[in-house]
């Protein structure tokens, strides 16, 4: 994208980058802590990936970096392996980013951009709602200034409630955290746009320093001086094996989120973004993050709109923002020793609350109970079983639901309906007329091992229930978009069975690729050219001519 850069964009990109950096710093640190990592790793994960994406990214305005939806997945993957060793946690997070980057780059090579189709909208909404609850509850101890218990959602809730009951709440931490939430939310309702996150963070830092409150409440602490460096020491083969599964799940989620975000903003400007190129760019950015002390990243739903509103024209705006973050780390890393941890918790909780989507659940309840149940199952799995496990369960349930729909698809018989051209569903038009001696069957699904028997039984039932002896069966095949060998065997057996009763089986509107499969499967002699018709009307006319019917 940078090779197509236009000079008039420079001023806008510089201004957008400066505005964006004001949010990158607090958000990056907050999402790092939400992932169970030192705050500085969030800055590393903000700097290097933005620079990499500026070179390789296909989107003009997409901003990538740490994201609230990935944070709990990262924590779930690395913290059980790290124990209580923060350095090992950082190394594991870097390894996880490298694995994710490698998987995404492999996906780019094999053009697997279509895999985002595995995540239907109910799954996406369900896991985002589950993640939002997990994030908010995991940040509650920090907001209250009490030690976190970690573990499952239930354990976190129980531990937090017990600490509150014992009077362990830090009033100052709660004041700063609640104040942060109030400021950010209030700024969203003001008639003019104000950077609520920046205002809250700067005000809290200034107040803590001015009132010398560092001993009275937990703070982030000073950041280390210098620029990011590789931090992959102490990694074992066992760590690699243990993180492969989580890496695959997070890679899918990261790319799905990034792809949707990138295409949405590209459509606004009339630009097309190739999904495979996006997959490769996110892969490179994750590798860069992993090599230099960062952790897995994706497209940011919160920072991308900020860049767009600030006038970003190209990925250079992200690179400019990264440069400002570097300046902050060089010139003023000690400022964060005055930043209360509860303030970052407040930032994360507001971000998590913004991804909650209850409207879609109620909409699905009206439209499809099955999809609503899938959403709820995903939410419960993510919230109470585990973030990664919940997503695996959700995808599995989605695939099962797809198979069940294909196993029992809509099927019907067609007939003529008054003066309406063509042939139509007799179950919807009971006044319709059948052609004597002819059954016109429709089956709305690919034919494969799970539903081949359902298809043949459908034909048998129509033939058995026909008002007079059947001489032809026409299969309206437009909706049959697939055929495997098991279903083919069922089809051949049906043809043999019908032939014994003097019934001819033919097909109308069958797609070319399905005909090609019949040839490859070696049954072209059985189903020759005279068995196929371009339309149902053609097939019916041929039938009537054959038997001299008016």
Residue 385 pLDDT level (bands cut at 50, 70, 90): confident
pLDDT at 149 over 70: no
Question: Residue 241 corresponds to which tokens in the numbers above?
Answer: 């094996």
Is 106 contained in some domain?
yes
pLDDT at position 306:
73
User: For the residues 250-271, what does the mean pLDDT come to?
Assistant: 79
pLDDT at 140: 92
With respect to residue 117, please indicate whether it lies within any of the assigned structural domains: yes
270: confidence class by pLDDT, cuts 50, 70, 90 = low
**Residue 40 burial class via C-beta count within 10 angstroms: exposed 0-12, middle 13-18, buried 19 and up:** buried
DSSP letter for each residue of 35-96: TTS-HHHHHHHHHHHHHHHHHH---SS--EE--TTTHHHHHHHHHHHHTT-HHHHHHHHHHH
Of 401, 420, 454, which residue is a domain's last?
401
Domains of the chain: total: 2
106/85 same-domain check: yes
Q: Residue 398 in contact with residue 256, Cβ under 8 Å?
A: no
Q: Are residues 297 and 422 in the same domain?
A: no
320 and 463 co-located in one domain: no
Give the model's confidence band at 1: pLDDT under 50 very low, under 70 low, under 90 confident, else very high.
Answer: low
Same structural domain, 364 and 462: no
Asked if residue 539 and residue 428 are part of one domain, the reply reads yes
Q: What pLDDT is stored for residue 4 in this prediction?
A: 66
Q: Is residue 192 one of the residues assigned to a domain?
A: no
Position with higher pLDDT, 302 vs 444? 444
Residue 294 domain-assigned (yes or no): yes
User: Which residue would you say has higher pLDDT here, 306 or 78?
Assistant: 78
In a domain, 482, yes or no: yes
Q: Which residue has the higher pLDDT, 295 or 347?
A: 295
d(CA 378, CA 131) in angstroms, rounded, equals 10
Q: What is the CATH number of the domain that holds 418?
A: 3.30.750.24
Positive or negative torsion for Cα 530, 532, 533, 539: positive
User: Residue 347 has what pLDDT?
Assistant: 86
155: exposed, middle or buried (C-beta count within 10 Å: 0-12, 13-18, 19+)?
exposed
Single out the residue in 401, 431, 460 at which a domain terminates: 401
What pLDDT, on a 0 to 100 scale, did the predictor assign at position 268?
Answer: 67
Mean pLDDT within 474-485: 95
- How sure is the predictor about 195, in pLDDT bands with cuts at 50, 70 and 90? confident
Angle among Cα 49, 54, 58 to the nearest 5 degrees reads: 110
322-326 mean pLDDT: 91
Mean of per-residue pLDDT scores for the chain: 89
pLDDT in tens, 60-73: 888 999 988 888 88
Same domain, 279 and 374: yes
**Res 384 pLDDT > 90:** no
Segment holding 245, helix H or strand E: helix 237-268
Query: From CA 374, how far away is CA 120, in angstroms rounded?
Result: 10
Q: Are residues 144 and 281 in the same domain?
A: yes
Q: Which residue has the higher pLDDT, 14 or 114?
A: 14
Task: Looking at the structure, tell me whether residues 418 and 309 fall in a common domain.
Answer: no
pLDDT of residue 416: 95
The pLDDT of residue 2 is above 60: no
CA–CA separation, 31 and 39 (whole Å): 8
Query: What angle in degrees, to the nearest 10, is found between the helix axes of 196-210 and 341-354?
Result: 170
- 536 with 431, same domain? yes
Instruction: Using the predicted structure, report yes or no on whether residue 225 has a pLDDT greater than 80.
Output: no
Which of these ranges, 76-80, 199-203, 318-322, 392-396, has the smallest mean pLDDT? 392-396
| Lowest mean pLDDT, pick from 121-125, 334-338, 370-374, 498-502 | 121-125
For residues 223 and 46, give the distance between their C-alpha atoms in angstroms, rounded to a whole number: 15
Mark whether 384 and 479 lie in a shared domain: no
Asked whether residue 351 is domain-assigned, the answer is no
Residue 20 pLDDT: 84
Q: Which two tokens stand for residue 251?
A: 């890679």
Per the domain annotation, does 481 fall within a domain? yes
Domain-terminating residue out of 345, 380, 401: 401
Do residue 307 and residue 161 come from a single domain? yes
Q: Are strands 504-508 and 472-476 parallel, antiparallel or unpaired?
A: parallel
Examine residue 457 and state whether it is found in any structural domain, yes or no: yes
Asked if 95 contacts 43 with a C-beta cutoff of 8 angstroms, the reply is no
Residue 353: band (very low, low, confident or very high) from pLDDT cuts 50, 70, 90: confident
Asked if residues 349 and 136 have their Cβ atoms less than 8 Å apart, the reply is yes
pLDDT of amino acid 443:
96
Please answer whether residues 94 and 232 qualify as being in contact, where contact means their C-beta atoms are separated by less than 8 angstroms: yes
Query: Torsion over CA of 64, 66, 70 and 75, rounded to 10 degrees?
Result: 150
Q: Domain range for residue 461?
A: 410-546
In this predicted model, what pLDDT tens digit does every residue of 327-345 receive, in sequence order?
Answer: 988 888 888 899 999 998 8
296 touches 76 (CB < 8 A)? no
Q: What mean pLDDT is predicted for residues 349-376?
A: 87
pLDDT of residue 196: 84
Measured CA distances, 440 to 276, 469, 545 (Å): 43, 14, 16
Q: How far apart are CA 68 and CA 426, in angstroms?
A: 52
3-state SS record for 347-397: HHHHHHHHCCCCHHHHHHHHHCHHHHHHHHHHHHHHHHHCHHHHHHHHHHH
What would the pLDDT profile of 158-180 be if each residue is shown by its tens digit?
Answer: 888 998 999 999 999 999 999 99
pLDDT digits (tens, 9 = 90+) for 394-441: 778 778 877 888 888 999 999 999 989 999 999 999 999 999 999 999
- The whole-number average pLDDT for the span 477-503 is 95
Q: What CA–CA distance (Å, rounded) separates 366 from 189?
A: 31
Q: Looking at the structure, tell me whether residues 27 and 155 fall in a common domain.
A: yes
C-alpha span between 513 and 510 (Å, rounded): 9
CA-closest candidate to residue 505, choices 469, 464, 470: 470
* Rounded distance between C-alpha atoms, residue 62 and residue 108, angstroms: 18
């Amino acid at each position: 994208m940078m090779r197509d850069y236009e000079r008039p964009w420079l001023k806008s990109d510089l201004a957008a980058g400066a505005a964006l950096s004001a949010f990158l710093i607090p958000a990056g640190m907050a999402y790092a802590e939400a992932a169970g990592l030192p705050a500085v790793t969030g800055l590393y994960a903000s700097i290097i990936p933005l620079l990499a994406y500026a070179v390789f990214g296909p989107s003009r305005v997409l901003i990538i970096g740490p994201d609230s939806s990935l944070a709990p997945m990262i924590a779930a993957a690395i913290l059980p392996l790290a124990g209580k060793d923060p350095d090992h946690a950082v190394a594991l997070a870097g390894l996880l980013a490298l694995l994710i980057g490698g998987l995404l780059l492999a996906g780019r090579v094999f053009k697997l951009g279509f895999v985002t189709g595995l995540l239907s909208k109910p799954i996406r909404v369900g896991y985002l709602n589950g993640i939002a609850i997990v994030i908010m509850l995991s940040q509650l101890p920090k907001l209250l200034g009490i030690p976190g218990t970690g573990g499952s959602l239930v354990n976190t809730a129980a531990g937090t409630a017990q600490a509150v009951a014992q009077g362990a709440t830090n009033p100052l931490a709660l004041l700063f955290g609640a104040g942060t939430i109030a400021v950010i939310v209030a700024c969203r309702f003001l008639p003019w746009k104000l950077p609520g996150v920046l205002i809250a963070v700067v005000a809290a830092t200034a107040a803590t320093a001015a009132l010398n409150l560092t001993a009275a409440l937990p703070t982030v602490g000073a950041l280390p001086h210098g620029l990011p460096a590789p931090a992959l020491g102490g990694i074992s083969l066992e760590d690699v094996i243990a993180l492969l599964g989580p890496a695959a799940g997070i890679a899918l989620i990261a790319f799905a989120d990034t792809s949707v975000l990138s295409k949405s903003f590209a459509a606004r400007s009339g630009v097309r973004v190739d999904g495979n190129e996006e997959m490769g760019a996110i892969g490179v950015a994750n590798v860069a993050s992993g090599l230099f002390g960062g952790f897995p990243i994706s497209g940011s739903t919160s920072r991308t709109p900020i860049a767009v509103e600030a006038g970003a024209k190209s990925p250079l705006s992200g690179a400019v923002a990264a440069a400002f973050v570097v300046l902050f780390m060089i010139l003023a890393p000690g400022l964060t020793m005055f930043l209360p941890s509860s303030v970052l918790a407040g930032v994360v909780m507001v971000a998590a609350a913004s991804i909650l989507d209850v409207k879609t659940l109620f909409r699905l309840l009206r439209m499809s109970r099955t999809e609503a149940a899938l959403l709820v199952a995903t939410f419960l799995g993510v919230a109470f079983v585990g973030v990664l496990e919940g997503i695996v369960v959700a995808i599995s349930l989605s695939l099962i639901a797809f198979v069940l729909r294909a196993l029992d698809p809509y099927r019907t018989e067609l007939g003529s309906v008054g003066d309406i051209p063509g042939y139509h569903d007799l179950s919807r038009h009971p006044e319709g007329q059948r052609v004597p001696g002819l059954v016109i069957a429709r089956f709305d699904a690919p034919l494969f091992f799970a539903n081949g028997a359902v298809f043949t039984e459908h034909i048998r039932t129509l033939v058995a229930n026909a008002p007079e002896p059947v001489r032809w069966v026409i299969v309206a095949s437009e909706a049959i978009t697939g055929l495997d060998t098991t279903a083919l065997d069922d089809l051949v057996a049906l043809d043999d069975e019908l032939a014994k009763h003097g019934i001819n089986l033919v097909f109308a509107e069958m797609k070319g690729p399905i005909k090609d499969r019949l040839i490859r499967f070696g049954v072209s002699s059985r189903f020759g050219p005279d068995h196929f018709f371009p339309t149902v009307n053609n097939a019916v006319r041929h039938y009537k001519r054959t038997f001299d019917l008016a």
